[in-house]
Chains A and B, each alone.
Chain A
Amino acid sequence: MQTNFTLAQLADQAMAESEKILRTCVHCGFCLATCPTYQILGDELDSPRGRIYQIKEMFENDRPAPETVVKHIDRCLSCLSCMTTCPSGVNYMHLVDHARVHIEETHQRALPDRILRELLARLIPNPRLFRLALLGAWLARPIARYLPGRLKGMVAMAPARLPGPSPIDRPQVIPAEGPRRRRVTLLNGCAQQVLDPGINEATVRLLTRHGVEVVVARGNGCCGAVTHHMGKEEPAHRAAKANIAAWSAEMVEHGGEGLDAIIINTSGCGTTVKDYGFMLRGEPEWADRAAKVSAITRDISEFMVELGLNPPVIATGQTVAYHSACSMQHGQQIRTEPKRLLQAVGFQVRYVPEGHLCCGSAGTYNLLQPELATELRDRKVGNIEKLKPDLIATGNIGCMTQIGSGTGIPIVHTAALLDWATGGPKPEALRDLSDPAQSGADPDRSMAA
């Protein structure tokens, strides 16, 4: 597509990158087909092609983000379904990230919106504060219906039970069972360890059982995605650097014992950590380390496929609806691995119809755009329930919370299911699930050792 930038504009590295992205777009419109907001709203302004066009205008004219453009960019889930569809290879992720930074820098939001975003940006990345906030929200539940709009929704999202912090999330080294095959570090993250500490526990059990030593590095924490997606560049980069510093210290070249991989069990974080290299490309003292970190980052499912799974030790065969998080299938292009793993231990895995569509979670999206998020959730739940599954598996805590708020079908992290099948405890969410009937398991069990 033709662009109109001055040489002065292109001297800015970020703008030059964006110009290159815009040039790749041929305006064919394929992305409209798989964009969740376009599916719902039917307005091209709420489609990737429309947003690309609005961003192009905004950048070319070098002007503050207008209210109308902010509205349509805010509605974007950053699910990146468009990137899977795009035949021209447009990097929409980097373009919309840049636009969000531009909005944050040039656009004054209305006060309530500003407060809400600031609140989320400070609470969610900090497990201690987030726990307190959830406790507050839990206490506020009885008065939820008297609260205004989005606040009501936020309180409603607070979980009914709030588990205590897990010892696994403290800095430590957990040795492999048997001979050590690999040494990895685990991003133990922010919101997930508060909402469901069992996921990290299950991940560590799964890894150590398969001969992997797990390091929980001191100083690692939120990956920065929450603030990154709000266009808040500074705190996002600060979080990234903290992680890079913590993990690099474990690498041989920095005097550590060495790392085979950085394991992520929240795909939203995985997309971000895999992009650290790009994020910090302009900061010479960080760029190399960031790129190295991104290069060895693996989703737990990718890593377990590499490693191979032990055979199941329990009766499986339950029907699992596998929900692929957008950050998994579009952000990281991980499509078949989780399904193959679940099949390998004997689950009957079904893909969800319209599986490319987002569930509406999208980080803080369900809190900032509750109407659209709820419509997407209901559509997702409808598609899942068509499969009549015994349980739902997914690899992203955001989706678990979002989908879980709309259905009674238990929803479990893929790693927790794999842990259970290979010797770990039954996930709490499945306590009412009975053993499978003696139907045949999926034939595709070649993964099992």
Chain B
Amino acid sequence: MHTLPTSETQIADTVLAARAERTPLEISGGGTKRRLGRRVQAAATLSTDALRGITLYRPTELVISANSGTPLSEITQTLGEQGQELAFEPIDHRTVYGGEGAEPTIGGVIACNLSGPRRVNAGAARDHLLGVRAVNGRGEVIKNGGRVVKNVTGYDLCKLFAGSFGTLGILTEVTLKVRPKAERAATLVLFGLDEVAGQAAMAEALGSPFDVTGAAYLPATQASTLGVSALADAGTSATVIRLEGFADSVAYRTDALRGSYGPRAATTVLDDADGAAVWAGIRDVRPLAASSGSLWRVSTTPSEGPAVLARLRERSPVDAVLDWGGGLVWLAVEAGDDDGAAAVRDAVRPSGGHATLVRPAGGGPGEGEVFDPPPPVLAMLGDRIKRSFDPDRILNPGRMYAGV
């Protein structure tokens, strides 16, 4: 059964009915990332796809509200007309899931807390979420936060909803902080560094006073896949660093940063168009999209990115792209029975952080644990939080962890 409510009230009624019948619901939006997370155990689907529309936009207050089923593209376009954007640069999963689904919705982006390369500078999706309306598993409409940036009135449920994969409530409306789009974006490329030197160069950039908004490392084989001739022609690894802002300021900072590296690597600066292609490619993991094997996303201590890779290589061949200055490692692993889970998690553990199986070798969704299983006390807390929203486990059961 697939329901497509057109209002918050209808959603609440659907949940109430599902709860009365003890029938779990799978929650979806545009359906572009149904494969992200564990398989949901549900006979019925509830889609927010029909709950569309921007409900408030105040450019001078840097705020936008939209119903959760609003396509991300609609929001991007509306903001773009006023020279604004969502600074957290959410990934579009259609690249790694082969174009599955219609269009990503803003509700889906928030529910999965998706952030791209600018995460290192501007924060994650959760940092931009000012307010929510949602229907919890009790069929109640609840709101939290608001439309202002500074707000500490009551507990911050927005943070919980972001990244809860629809297991706590069905988002019906989200309010987001927006930022002016930069006038200019320059991408400084350092060629030919190995992973360790590349990570160090990224750390230097992020530790510089130049307000770097992206720092990623592409090994030679990956650098050539982005359709940018300057990278493809070089035939070496590319460490890419993005600087954004007013044109004169970007020019100054790019020069200063470039100069600070001295002669250790050949460098170039990409223009806005090439740069945009590079960062969109990194955001959507284009270099590893076509890889066989399983696709993993690792969040770790940035300086440890190369160490995680080194440990993993001892057990399995691996292709990788480093984003977030080394703190976000995308891995294409030649998987064993477990999609490489044991090898990946063992490699991450000493460095701190966690690993998510984004795309199992078989295409997924995975049967095993997709996210790192939490330690017992946190699992207990997670369970209690889930019950406080959704006592009967009606919403997306099992999507994050078994039982949640």
Note whether A and B contact each other (Cβ less than 8 A). no
Please give the residue numbers on chain B whose beta carbons come within 8 Å of chain A beta carbons, in ascending order: none
